[in-house]
Amino acid sequence: MIATAQQVWLELAGVPVTFPAEGAEVAVSERSLLCPPGWCGIVTLGNAAIVTVPADDIAELVRQRLGGQRVAALTDPERLCRALPVAEVLGPATLAYCDKRSFRPTDPGVLDVIPADHADLAALLASVPPDDADECGLAEITSPAYVVRSGSHVVAAAGYRRWPGEAAHMCVLTAPPHRGRGLARIVGGAAVADALANDLLPQWRARPDPSRRVARALGFHELGTQLSIRITEPRAR
């Protein structure tokens, strides 16, 4: 499973790069999708990491300052900020994966299935704080949406966006008044089952502990971490 997960991120790197047997490989990539444009993207999986950076001078700085660091330290914001001229940080987020053997299905009896562009899903996204709507990723799913309703209103939904490397990036959201009732696990389980039925690798990227607990309940294993940093130009230091 970890080799398949690594392939997902290698395809997103934008340039030829490999996860070493251990440690980190740094690559210059202006087209990297590991991070926002102009940022540095760091992904660890197992005992290895890849780091994409936007320019040669930043690559040299990263290799000098982070060479020899333990892989776990590469996504520790405090350590990165001590070692590098970091202007902004996004993350870290845990990367978790499951397969047909580890998946723990949920009861789909209370679910409805609607298209990704359904107005009821848009209404759920509009009803939550903007940060929640952006973080969940439901506006970008390519699968159907699996939803739970309260009356006519959708109060929980899940789906996935198909990524390179045959991955299904899971997206889950529950309206704040309905959290703590297990709805994320119900809708998330349905979306994971759909992904596995289509021979995709379900990927669960999460920062908050509640989201990580839902993933673990569904049989996901935390295999790595993702973090993005924006470094000030070395010449400006």
**Total residue count of the chain as it appears in this document:** 237
CA distances from 99 to 26, 147, 159 (A): 29, 22, 17
DSSP 8-state class, residue 233 = P
pLDDT one-digit tens code per residue, 55-84? 999 999 999 999 888 999 999 999 999 999
* C-beta of residue 13 within 8 angstroms of C-beta of residue 165: no
Q: Does the pLDDT of residue 114 top 90, yes or no? A: yes
Angle at 147 between CA 143 and CA 153, to 5 degrees: 130
Domains, the chain, in order of start with CATH, read 2-95+224-236 (no CATH), 112-219 (3.40.630.30)
d(CA 88, CA 62): 15
On whether the pTM is more than 0.85, the answer is: yes
Residues 6+ apart with CB under 8 A from 189: 104, 105, 106, 108, 218
